[in-house]
Amino acid sequence: MSNRRNFIKSAIGVSTGILTAGRLLGNGFSPFTIPWVKKSQTPRIRFSVIGINHGHIYGQVNSVIRGGGELVAFHAKEDGLAAGFTKAFPQAKRVQTEAEILEDNSIRLVLSSIIPNERAPLGIRVMEHGKDYMVDKPGITSLSQLSDVRKVQKKTGRIFSILYSERLENKATVKAGELVQAGAIGKVVQTIGMGPHRMTPKSRPDWFFDKKYFGGILCDIGSHQFDQFLYFTGSTSGKILASQAGNVHYPQYREFEDFGDALVQGNHGSGYIRVDWFTPDGLKSWGDGRLTILGTDGYIEIRKNIDIDGREGGNHLFLVDQKGTQYIDCRDVNLPYGRQLVDDVIHRTETAMTQEHCFLATELTLLAQKNATRMGNI
């Protein structure tokens, strides 16, 4: 798990000082280091957390802290998870009910990594209390939930943002966005997104193995890839051409899915997506996440977590254009999402992620999952 710790550190950025978090009991994560932010920074907004069932919450919190947010409180039902969170963020008061956060008018933004099928209903409660919401992926696990969220978001005018960390918190992917916007590879024709993960079943909570909680593999880890497809092609509409998902290797977990892929077509490009839980123990990372962006004048390949050719760490970018081939080390690239989200909370803008993009990425994800051809044992 050491390389997963290194990935998290690089993905969320190292500020000033390091604090070590305790073990997240029952969550599938070992202890890892958490970046700290200078207390002298003047906070721009106050924010809180409800639900910490996935370790992504640490990256979510640090993203907003980097953007100028002050974490003031959190609510979690699980004492073990709360203990680790308190060690990482001692400035946050643990409250006994979510109402203490929802009814605090000084809190403007709520973050969550609660169990996936509970994320959309929580987001609705947050928006109905006049607050903005940033949630771990998948933020929505069914089309009916999506319909409800869209209605409440339109009615309240609040922000419902899903932190797709494979794009927004990966420095190489952020750099790729800058290159594409600058025209480095011409017009984008296609994206190929690969999201392999390591299983580690002994460290996973029960809900991890039940599709009714996580929505299915395309809904869950596949959501990153649909977000990237829309972003890099610039598509504002799309349709699923084909998809499949199922359990091909773990018959002891009958409600689990370990493989999925999809073909998607947008109004400005196409995409292929493949996700799985087959990362072998011999790889020095939890997953060899890759993204290839094909353009009319070149292409970009990103190795997000590891370069199997031997370069240390993650955030590796390879650019091939009409002039040649070059490697770009992205370790020093700035991650703007947290700052942009805080800006949006303050100014009621959409610089971090448009609401339509958020919902369209989710809709395509859910359609791919719902209409996927069944394979394997389920």
Domains annotated on the chain, with CATH: 2-164 (3.40.50.720), 167-335+366-376 (3.30.360.10)
pLDDT in tens, 107-157: 999 999 999 999 999 999 999 999 999 999 999 999 999 999 999 999 999
**Could you give phi then psi for residue 270, rounded to 5 degrees?**
-125, 170
- Measure Cα distances from 290 to 170, 193, 274, 317, 333 in Å: 11, 6, 10, 10, 18
Q: What is the mean pLDDT of the chain?
A: 90
Whether pLDDT at 45 is above 70? yes
Q: Which of 141, 134, 89 is nearest to 115 (CA)?
A: 141
Q: 132: which residues sit within 8 A by CB, 6+ positions away?
A: 108, 109, 110, 126, 158, 159, 160, 161, 344, 345
Q: Is 169 exposed, middle or buried (0-12, 13-18, 19+ CB in 10 A)?
A: buried
Strand pairing report for 290-295 and 298-303: antiparallel
Please, are residues 167 and 224 in contact by the beta-carbon 8 Å criterion?
yes
pLDDT of residue 33: 35
DSSP 8-state assignment for residue 104: -
Residue 35 tokens read as 């970046």
pLDDT of residue 310: 82
- pLDDT more than 70, % of the chain: 89
pLDDT of residue 378: 52
What is d(CA 66, CA 74) in angstroms, rounded to the nearest whole number? 18
Q: Which of 29, 33, 35, 65 is nearest to 49 (CA)?
A: 65
If you average pLDDT over residues 8-30, what whole number do you get?
Answer: 35
pLDDT band, very low/low/confident/very high, at 377 (cuts 50, 70, 90): low
DSSP 8-state assignment for residue 366: H
State which amino acid sits at residue 329.
D
pLDDT in tens, 249-286: 999 999 999 999 999 999 999 999 999 999 999 999 99
